[in-house]
Amino acid sequence: MNDIHEIVNRLGLAGEAEATLHGALLRELVQGRPVTFERLAASLNWTTDQVVQVLNSCRAEPSSMTVRDA
C-alpha cells in the first residue's frame, strides 16, 4: 500500500480526491483488466459522475476535450 501512496505523491496530485482516485486506479490496473468508469466508481463508492469530474480536474493542460462516459 505504501508503494501506491509513493507513486501518487510523485505524480504531484494536489487534491485529496485526485490522490484517492489515482490510488484506486492503480489498484484496479494491476489486476490486468481494463478499468471502466463504473468499476472505478464502485471501488471508491463514488458515482460515475464523480469519477469523471475528478478525472477532468486532473488534466495537465487546458483543453476543450474532456473525459466522457463512453
Query: Is 66 part of a structural domain of the chain?
Result: no
Answer yes or no: are the C-beta atoms of 44 and 20 closer than 8 Å: yes
47: left (phi over 0), alpha (psi -120 to 50) or beta: beta
pTM: 0.66
Average pLDDT along the chain, 70 residues, taken 10 residues at a time: 63 74 90 94 95 80 50
Query: Is 28 part of a structural domain of the chain?
Result: yes
pLDDT at 17: 85
Domains in the chain, number: 1
Cα–Cα distance for residue pair 6/44, rounded to 1 Å? 19
pLDDT at 69: 47
pLDDT at 32: 93
* Structural domain range at position 8: 2-57
Answer yes or no: are the C-beta atoms of 2 and 35 closer than 8 Å: no
For residue 13, which of 29, 26, 28 has the smallest C-alpha distance? 26
pLDDT at 65: 47
Query: Is 50 part of a structural domain of the chain?
Result: yes
pLDDT at 60: 56
